[in-house]
Structure 1
Amino acid sequence: MNSTVISILLLITFAIFIAYILKGGNLVIGFFVMAILWSVIGMVPFNTAVQKVFAEPALNYGPTIIYIVFGSWFGRVLVDSGIAPAISEATNKVGKKKPLLAAILVIIVTAFIFVSAYGVGSVIAIGVILLPILLSVGVPRDIALIAFSLAIGAPMYVNVVLYNQIKAFFPNAVYDASYLKFGWTAALVQLVVVILFLIIMRKKFDPSKAEENLQTIGASFGDVDSDQKKVPYIAYIVPVVPVAMNMIFGWDAIPSLVLSIIIAMLLTGNMKGYKKTVDFINNTVSQAISDISGLIIFLMALIMFSGAATLNAKHFEPLFNAILPHSHLVLALALGVLAPLALFRGPLHVWGAGAATAAVLSGTGLFTDAFLLPLLYVPTLMAVSTDITQSWNVWGLDYMKVQSKDFLKYGVPVMWAVSIINELLVYAFFG
């Protein structure tokens, strides 16, 4: 079977896979089946497939799983120690008399927390605190949810846990000062656009409907003002400690996260006595692992498919050479314009059908990993921010009683603009 026939068959299965995802198919099963299909269609020798598709990718992904575990643990510590709720409550008090200011503060606090926190568990824990605050100052439910979700997506450019997940596709990329200059700039762009979105939508704010909206989601003004654990103001800096340690001292994420966890426990009184320390560690670790158990299995299936896609990259080289612009600027602009293709786990979402796009692009060797990682990170983060298949967005739609079409109506145009701007930044920093 020649390379042309193989590449056509691979593309056909890829199209079927996208259709399967769009119909709500299980991603773990989908990626695992695709790994097998691409190994068979690509005529990968049996022993090579066993080793290079199913064994080595999963084993080599071990360090990334450790990053995810520690990141999830840190997120849980921020919540259970009272730091995240205290920051949220302080925001509520500061902005109570000025609805727009309160909404902007909530968005900034959300982004601040998720610089290092990660996982659907952390999002839910923070969301049930911050979303009622937005409603209590008169922000409509749909606008509140969109702003909150986009504010979570903004700091994901520098969130070391998510970065290490996408790095699986681009192993030569490095989370260093060079990348962080881009990451912080891109995060700031998204955050500023979200704030502009709130300013534009401020005429829709209606404090008279606050109680009605709170009752719709099962909350009340009393819930918003409920007593929080008292923590010292110095503890408010803990969410940025991991990134700061990397930027200032070049520390790896693991020691940075561990140090941050210890600081959080010390500052909030959770290390007073041996038993209290052990109980707090056991409870937060147990919950953190539970939060990411499904994610880990999903990533294992994804990385196996990535292994199969990498082995088949040679079949796509003539096609990519023919259709891909060799200009960094043109490619960056193209992905900005086509960014909505990342929605619904589409071909530009690396944790969806875009896993093949990422693996094949990396395998062709036409561009460096340092350029490709942020290039595909931008549309992927559009999906993370506003896709209704993203786990915490699914929770948000249910919790806030918002229709999918209303969420997409505002979220997609805002994130599309952000994606085009940030793809131009990718070219400016790495082109």
Structure 2
Amino acid sequence: MLIASFIFMVWYCMKGYNLMVGFFIMASIWVILVLIGNAIEPTAVLKGKSVIDVLTFVYADGPAAYAQSILVNIFFGAFFGRVLIDTGIAATLIRKVVELGGDMPRLTMSLLCIVTAVIFMSMTGIGPVISIAVIVLPILFSLGISAPVALFAFMGSIMAGIFCNTVNFIQYHTMYAGFVKSAASYSYNDYFRIGLIGMIVGLVVVLTIANLTMHSGTSHNWAVNAQQASGKENAPWYSWIAVVLPVLGVVLLKLPIIFGFIASAVYAMLTTGKLRGSYKEVTRRFAKLFTDGSIDVAPMIGFLLSLAMFNNAATYAAPYFTALIENIIPTNHLVLALVFALLVPLGFFRGPMNWVGSGAAIFAVVLAANPGIPVQFMYPLTAATTIFPQHLDVTQSWVAWGFGYTKVASKDYLKRSLPAGWICGAIMCVIIYFMYGNL
């Protein structure tokens, strides 16, 4: 019954139904099944626990732990993203890239993708994505780049940046540490090198596919929007470093990420004149930026809280999955890396290799079968099969928005995004093995 419910969850995710409700339903089904199973034959994980203890662990402790470790980081990350948009720093960087690229479409597209990836090392949420998209996409269209290529290149550059994104690291790492408590000490500093390599791999693959499938087009009325955008006042050059300040603060100075977001936001606003005015005006501006950022990530918050319930329910269900399929789970590091590389496509459509899909249960079983596996090796593997497919997927909210904005057919997008996600994930699985497989 557990496996049947898991298959149902895979189908549910692929159909694109509401994930917040879906994971709450799954958590409830698994709680009922494990309580019935424990009444028939007790398991070690439920030893000495009452029904109330189980309900508390799943529906109260799970969301509370996520609120403590993830939500505050997401809120402040979204706030910082709004600051970069409101101060004009992100738009200025894009306009300067266009000036540098001139009338060479391939060079301009490549430079725009690189800058977009760097911006999304810190930014997160659909609001910032749309705010950047309405600047970048019209510029690409005005250069004669076809809409399917432009949309794929832009979304692919976001995907590359997300692989090194501080907020996303905290999100997925907390899910991982929910199954392996010893992994809690694994920090963004430990991950940064492989995250940066993943960003570079993502950019190289996306730009290669975009250039190979690109054909000449003609400029159209999108160009008017691009020209109008380029006429806006630029943020001063010394403010541009704010884009990477949170990452530099964490990596070089070991600063707490929330302090890094706040300090970087203050620097961005100070250097762009956004701190001028009365005390009431400035505080009102800060409050609005935080509110707008919170709205950007509100759907993600609801999803993560229900996912926390599902993860805690999976802790109780893991012994049953382990008993059924433990013998077919690889324990050799090379085999694990190759299997993950082969199964990267199952991270699309929120499938069973995706943390924010139905992958939490699969990863729980894999981790249970490999209790001593180094987090430096295993966590990046799960990130590779999640981030690359997920952020090129048609179920991703901003990709779905992009279809409506550009009028691109999903099939024209998928014939680029599917191979790109698989190639990126497979390459990274191999790199991760050579870097950490012998630990």
TM-score (norm 2): 0.91
Residue in 2 that maps onto 1:177: 189
Residue in 2 that maps onto 1:263: 267
C-alpha deviations, 1:107-160, integer Å up to 9, x for none? Answer: 011101101011111100000001111111111000000011110011212211
Residue in 1 that maps onto 2:200: 188
AA in 2 matched with 1:340: P
Residue in 1 that maps onto 2:7: 15
Alpha-carbon contact 2:331-2:370 (below 8 Å) kept? no
C-alpha deviations, 1:47-82, integer Å up to 9, x for none? Answer: 132121111111111121000000000111100111
C-alpha deviations, 1:182-218, integer Å up to 9, x for none? Answer: 111111111112222233234x032xx220xxx4xxx
Alpha-carbon contact 2:85-2:128 (below 8 Å) kept? yes
Residue in 1 that maps onto 2:224: 221
Determine whether 1:382 maps to 2:388. yes
Q: Distance in 2 between matches of 1:428 and 1:238?
A: 34
The structural deviation recorded for 1:95 is: 1.5
* % identical aligned pairs: 34
C-alpha deviations, 1:356-402, integer Å up to 9, x for none? Answer: 22333334453343333211111111222311000111111111111
C-alpha deviations, 1:303-355, integer Å up to 9, x for none? Answer: 10000001111122234431111111111111111111111111011111112
AA in 2 matched with 1:175: S
AA in 2 matched with 1:162: N
Residue in 2 that maps onto 1:46: 51
Alpha-carbon contact 1:245-1:251 (below 8 Å) kept? yes
Determine whether 1:205 maps to 2:197. no
1:284/1:358 CA distance change after superposition, 3 Å: same
Q: Among residues 138, 143, 149, which one is paired with 1:137 in the alignment?
A: 143
AA in 1 matched with 2:216: F
| Structure 2 counterpart SS, 1:61 | helix
1:205/1:237 CA distance change after superposition, 3 Å: farther
Residue in 1 that maps onto 2:16: 24
Alpha-carbon contact 1:71-1:116 (below 8 Å) kept? yes
The structural deviation recorded for 1:414 is: 1.7
Q: Which runs of 5+ in 1 are unaligned?
A: 1-8
1:368/1:38 CA distance change after superposition, 3 Å: farther
TM-score (norm 1): 0.92
Q: Among residues 335, 351, 359, which one is paired with 2:356 in the alignment?
A: 351
Q: Distance in 2 between matches of 1:229 and 1:148?
A: 24
Determine whether 1:237 maps to 2:241. yes
The 5 A counterparts of 1:320-399 are: 320-366=325-371, 367-399=373-405
Residue in 1 that maps onto 2:41: none
C-alpha deviations, 1:257-314, integer Å up to 9, x for none? Answer: 1111011011110111324422321221111011111111111001100000011111
Q: Among residues 115, 119, 139, which one is paired with 1:109 in the alignment?
A: 115
Q: Distance in 2 between matches of 1:382 and 1:87?
A: 25
The structural deviation recorded for 1:232 is: 0.6
Alpha-carbon contact 2:140-2:150 (below 8 Å) kept? yes
> Structure 1 residue runs of 4+, over 4 Å off?
none
The structural deviation recorded for 1:225 is: 3.4
Q: Distance in 2 between matches of 1:312 and 1:222?
A: 53
Q: Distance in 2 between matches of 1:187 and 1:425?
A: 13
Q: Distance in 2 between matches of 1:247 and 1:224?
A: 37
Residue in 2 that maps onto 1:5: none
Determine whether 1:149 maps to 2:155. yes
Q: Distance in 2 between matches of 1:289 and 1:253?
A: 17
Alpha-carbon contact 1:170-1:362 (below 8 Å) kept? no
| Structure 2 counterpart SS, 1:312 | helix
AA in 2 matched with 1:178: D
Aligned residue pairs, count: 414
The structural deviation recorded for 1:175 is: 2.3
AA in 2 matched with 1:156: I
Q: Which runs of 5+ in 2 are unaligned?
A: 39-49, 178-182
Q: Distance in 2 between matches of 1:158 and 1:65?
A: 18
Let me know the Cα RMSD of the aligned residues: 1.6
| Structure 2 counterpart SS, 1:170 | helix
Alpha-carbon contact 1:186-1:425 (below 8 Å) kept? no
